Amino acid sequence: MRVGILLFDGVEELDAVGVYEVLAKAKQLHPQLDLTVRMRALKEDVSGALGLKMLAHEVKRDLSDLDLLIVPGGPGTKAVAADNEMMRSILEFGTEKPVASVCTGALVLKEAGLLAGRRATTNRAAIEELRSTAEVVLERVVEDGTITTAAGVTASIDLGLHLLRKHFGPELAREVAERIELPGYEKA
């Protein structure tokens, strides 16, 4: 399972790194796991919304080698949503394969045309913008068919655990949650 997390200038740092930490920790704990997690972008060096500089592992526009695409949020999503070629790629990808978002990454999925009539969530501040297209659900992670959306920023961690539970079972999700010392997860 090849997971690509989209990086772009103005990506909210924790949106991207939270889900990366969770998925990559699972792979670190179980190297035999059929999972690779890579940061993917249209250029190598990316500057986050809060100024953190990160380097993408893979620089390409084509998404077809991925099995799951994750779109984080942040003010940079406006430019991503305005990139018509990217919107076509994401629509084409999401028509065939699973796509997930964190925070205002949902607005990218909306712009690509993937959220019409679907149950979805986003950052609280973007709820009204999402409501014009999707049926907004105020939960940390909302799955509707092959599209999974998460709430704001720290919900990136919840998305990672949701994906682990779904694809590899609840025990692995619990193990990772314990390792990253997520409060309250032992009760889940």
Binding residues for a copy of itself (CB under 8 A)? 12-14, 17-18, 20-21, 24-25, 27-28, 39, 45, 49-55, 57, 123-124, 140, 151-155, 157, 179-184
For residue 155, the minimal CB distance to a copy of itself (Å) is 6
Q: How many CB atoms lie within 10 A of CB 125?
A: 10
For residue 160, the minimal CB distance to a copy of itself (Å) is 10
DSSP string of the chain?
A: -EEEEE--TT--HHHHHHHHHHHHHHHHH-TTSS-EEEEEESSSEEE-TTS-EEE-SEE-S--TT-SEEEE--STTHHHHHT-HHHHHHHHHHHHHS-EEEETTHHHHHHHHT--TT-EE---GGGHHHHHTTSEE--SSEEEETTEEEE-STTHHHHHHHHHHHHHH-HHHHHHHHHHTT-TTGGG-
For residue 37, the minimal CB distance to a copy of itself (Å) is 8
Q: Give the nearer residue to a copy of itself in terms of CB position, either 4 or 152.
A: 152
Q: Give the nearer residue to a copy of itself in terms of CB position, either 116 or 138.
A: 138
Decide if 144 contacts 2 (C-beta within 8 A): no
Active-site annotation, residues: 103
Q: Give the nearer residue to a copy of itself in terms of CB position, either 34 or 92.
A: 34
Q: Give the nearer residue to a copy of itself in terms of CB position, either 21 or 143.
A: 21
For residue 85, the minimal CB distance to a copy of itself (Å) is 26
